[in-house]
Chain A
Amino acid sequence: MSTAIVQLSDSDIEAFGAELDRIREDFLAERGESDARYIRRLIAVRRGLEAGGRAALAVSLLPPAWAAGTAMLAAARILDNAEIGHSVLHGQWDWMRDPRIHSTTWKWDLLASEAAWQRGHNDNHHVWTNVVGKDRDFGVMILRLSHEQAWRPYHLAQPLYFALLSPFFDWVLAVYELEFDAVREGRKSVGTYLQDTGALLARAARRAAREYVLFPLLSGPSALPCLLGNVSADVIRNVWIQSVIFVGHFHTDVETFTEEQAADESRGDWYVRQLLGTANFEGPPWLHIASGTLSHQIEHHLFPDLPNNRLPQIASRVRALCEKYRLPYTTGSLAGQLVSSWKRIFRYALPTRPVPLPGRTRAPGSTVE
């Protein structure tokens, strides 16, 4: 794939970057009341779903109430984590100056601490997207997803453990953000690590008390179905969130980069890397919201601080630009993207040999085998 980009000259890349800057400025100028209404309404819907879900599960001896309650609770949690939490913690709504909808104060219903996630996600992953050795999403996890990562025998089991861990995604994320790898490399002190672990356990205990003790007890005779509903809502959320994250960067056509390639990047180069390192998926409007607009992962990576609700509008302009500069724009149906991402997990479970190719914007890992 992406043989065309080798022909892009420096000035083409700069022009491409300038056009993207213009898109960004246009949307910043338009940003206003309707956007504020969007996030406020979404937060209200999320709260309503949570209240409704709790109420329904309180009488969940009745099977329809159980189904409705579990669905509402799962939906509330997915909205909380993705379309709301992810975007607020990105600072996409800081311009509203509302102290309760702000990247510095927001709390989400996930085990990972907000501050640790912001460091890992905003400062590391969004800056060093798909740079192996820098982007912690590549190379530190137990998953092997590119040639640049050394193969170890345990990678043979990666499809299996990836599937088995997906119902526990909130735990995986929280443990990942503790950065054990940083302690090993001496970037994080053991004391801080233990402190963060303690905070995580306290948070988990509080959450467990709420989900597995308080609300079931409040449900009286419906205690057991309520407990089951709460657990199911967590599992649904975990599997869903892991899936939509995973198709964004681990799609077969998504490229990886070396540190040398990312070393002297211009703004235009950075944009190109973000574009080549991400994939979208298509679907009806509800799917965009349910995925936290990670369905527009490309636009999100180009403009991490633009409000989510704008990304679908921006997409048509970004796509047109990609056609003009003959840059690849990876998109497809969610099912197709999932299949493609799974293929990647299976492919790199087996040992592969890197075939390096020179080229500034071309990744060594992107060759066809």
Chain B
Amino acid sequence: MDFAAAAALRGLRGLVRTVDWLTFPLYLEDCLALANPLWSVREPRGRVEAVRRETPDATTLVVRPGWGWRGHLPGQYVRVGVELDGVLHWRPYSLTSPPGAHGGRVSITVKATPDGRVSRHLAHRTTVGTVLRLGPAQGRLVLGRRPPGRLLFLTAGSGITPVMGVLRTLVARGGPADVVMVHSAPTRQDVIFGAELRELAARCPGFRLHEHFTRGGAGTRPRLAMAEVAELCPDWRERETWACGPAGMLDDAERHWNRHGRADSLRMERVRPVLPPLAGGTEKEGRVRFIRSGAEAEADAVTPLLAVGESIGLVMPSGCRMGICFGCVVPLRYGKVRDLRTGWLHGEEGDLIQTCVSAAAGPVAIEL
């Protein structure tokens, strides 16, 4: 039966391809999308069906994906394309819904950052009915079919979002067997999904929640120390740990797990692009040449080449925009680039560089 269905699907795809070959340069789906924008495979889109305010600056968007959507795994993120002043901006957001839930709808949770035009627009100005562009689900930090028995989630701020997709999947599969979550936020009100987490902790014996507040009451400390994590979760060495949050916390965690020889049990996902470590322009400003498109642009030592290309209207391949997914790699033709996370100066002709975390160090040409 499965075989027959697969053959029928193959046949249908073959037919669509033949029709497309014949109707080039116009595709059948381009005309169908006039009736419903979700009916497009080449240009996957999703319609916002519900908007839920989680905290004053975080909003969950429940999205019905169209034809081009191929599903996701718990822990993955999706690139969301949104138009601001006519310009299409792509940003990655974690999928917070378990796969296959809500009749095929997916949810993303967007935290508005003070300097983020796109995140503020998505969090505060998106209404039900808005149509967003969607990329494919991406990210290799995913929950397998048979998850490890004991987990530690170490999260802070919006770093809770990728973990939430995993936690909800575990709940849907019958409840987490043994999960400890240590979460940091400025105040209790700032905890995204706070009510749901507390309710789950009260109801489910396999889930323990520790919230750490860095602001507000007496006795609060600016940042959770790793020694405290060890106190809250004494068996942390035996657990697979998923850490997700700002760079400072992740660097602490990495050092801590390394020192105790447990680096292999720590899995990390950064939530914000790492800020350049360069203080002031020690490097001379450069000029970037985009070989294939023939474009050129001035670039300073702290702006990623991805942003430089986008600012002059090029369609740059991109993914996570924080140096993880390698969706943006492009061959370097000449010049040197600086890795904005480490400050490392590198680059030989032909090197595949990550444009989202590489800035020009002097004149640079990339194959794009």
Contacts and interface: CB of A to CB of B under 8 A. Distances in A.
| Same assembly | yes
Contacts of A99: 315
Contacts of A95: 86-87, 313
Interface in A254-290: none
Contacts of B86: 31-37, 95-96
B315 A104 contact: yes
Interface string B29-56: 0110010000000110000000000000
B92 to A, nearest CB: 16
A50 B26 contact: yes
Interface stretch (A105-113, A144-152, A240-248, A293-301): A105-113
Contact of B22 (A34, A97, A206): A206
B313 to A, nearest CB: 4
Interface string A53-91: 000000000000000000000000000000000000001
A47 B88 contact: no
Interface in A87-146: 91, 94-100, 102, 104-105, 107-109
Contacts of B34: 44, 47-48, 51
Given A51-B31, A51-B34, A96 B88 contact: yes
Contacts, number: 67
A214 interface: yes
A210 interface: yes
A100 B45 CA distance: 13
Nearest to B292: A104
Interface string B306-323: 000010011100000000
Contacts of B281: none
A163 interface: no
A6 interface: no
Interface in B286-310: 292-293, 310
A116 to B, nearest CB: 15
Contacts of B43: 100
Given A44-B34, A51-B31, A94 B24 contact: no
A209 interface: yes
A interface, by DSSP: helix, strand, loop or mixed? helix
B25 A109 contact: yes
Interface string B167-190: 000000000000000000000000
Contacts of B282: none
Given A102-B315, A104-B293, A210-B23, A97 B30 contact: no
Contacts of B22: 206, 209-210, 214
Q: Which of under 10, 10 to 19, 20 to 34, or 35 or more describes the interface residues of A?
A: 20 to 34
B238 interface: no
Contacts of A105: 315
Nearest to A43: B30
B18 to A, nearest CB: 10
B199 interface: no
Q: Which of B26, B42, B314 gathers most chain A CB within 10 Å? A: B26
Interface string B74-96: 00000000010111110000000
B315 A109 contact: no
A97 B315 contact: yes
B21 interface: yes
Contacts of B314: 94, 97
Nearest to A214: B22
Contacts of B315: 94, 97-99, 102, 104-105
Contacts of B24: 107, 206, 210
Contacts of B25: 107-109
Given A31-B86, A98-B88, A100-B43, A91 B21 contact: no
B71 to A, nearest CB: 22
Contacts of B21: 206
A109 B26 contact: yes
Contacts of A107: 24-25
Contact of A97 (B26, B87, B292, B293): B87
Contacts of B23: 210
Contacts of A209: 22
A126 to B, nearest CB: 13
Nearest to A51: B31
Interface in B69-126: 83, 85-89
B26 A47 contact: yes
Given A33-B85, A94-B314, A206-B21, A100 B42 contact: yes
A94 B313 contact: yes
Closest 4 CB pairs of A and B: A36-B86, A107-B25, A94-B313, A32-B85
Interface of A: 31-37, 44, 47-48, 50-51, 91, 94-100, 102, 104-105, 107-109, 206, 209-210, 214
25 contacts: A31-B86, A32-B86, A33-B83, A34-B86, A36-B86, A36-B87, A37-B86, A47-B31, A47-B34, A48-B31, A51-B31, A94-B315, A95-B87, A96-B87, A97-B314, A97-B315, A98-B88, A98-B315, A104-B292, A107-B24, A109-B26, A206-B21, A209-B22, A210-B22, A214-B22
Interface of B: 21-26, 30-31, 34, 42-43, 83, 85-89, 292-293, 310, 313-315
Given A47-B30, A91-B313, A104-B292, 11 more contacts: A36-B86, A47-B26, A95-B86, A96-B83, A96-B313, A97-B88, A97-B315, A99-B315, A102-B315, A210-B22, A210-B23
